[in-house]
Amino acid sequence: MRKAIINEPLILASASPRRKELLANADIPFEVMPADIDETLPCDDPAEAAEEISCRKAEFVAEKLMKEEKRDSFVILSADTVVSIDGKILGKPEDEEEAFNVLKELQGREHEVYTGVTIGIKHPGKGVRYRLFHEKTRVRLYPVSDAQIRDYIATGEPMDKAGSYAIQGSFAKYIKGIKGDYSNVVGLPIGRVFKELNQFLKK
């Protein structure tokens, strides 16, 4: 049986299969409770926007746990990932043409991936405490032709991804290099999460 790093159940406020896989691979037990929130970007700053949306997710799930499930003790983990280039945030594409335009802009260049993370902790008889942080990773792509971009979009893989690509998928062959945490680009900076969880739980 796996030994948990926490005494409380870890609630992942996300339905992302990538985040679930990262937690499972890191041997961190969890249960899933997706947050149904408005993910409209609150500002133009990518780090701030990612943190704010992750916080909205954690608060949504915390309220649900307390009011609907009457839980008095829990630990919530939520995250949101955004891609930025030239100071502009690139969200999930609404259609194939938008995905093409985003990938066309990214090809042959360096961009940034930010994941905002919120940890929410509630102990019996006390209110919820939150810790927010973000991780930033720089990613550089090789030049990619229009035909290669179209072929990639045809796989359907980019349609629910920030920046219109998945670094762990078939688009990996166009990655020239990264500076920072690889798992952050996938959707959750797992090493930082583990560190922050342990530090926060000690307080």
H helices of 68-154, in order, are: 96-106, 146-154
Say whether 95 is catalytic: no
Give the CA dihedral 51, 55, 57, 58, nearest 10 degrees: 130
C-beta of residue 41 within 8 angstroms of C-beta of residue 91: yes
How far is Cα 101 from Cα 62, in angstroms, rounded to an integer? 37
Given the residues 27, 38, 80, 181, select the one marked as catalytic: 80
C-beta of residue 137 within 8 angstroms of C-beta of residue 178: yes
C-beta of residue 137 within 8 angstroms of C-beta of residue 179: yes
How far is Cα 135 from Cα 126, in angstroms, rounded to an integer? 29
C-beta of residue 161 within 8 angstroms of C-beta of residue 92: yes
Instruction: Name which of 195, 49, 43, 186 is nearest 119 in CA terms.
Output: 195
- Catalytic machinery residues: 80
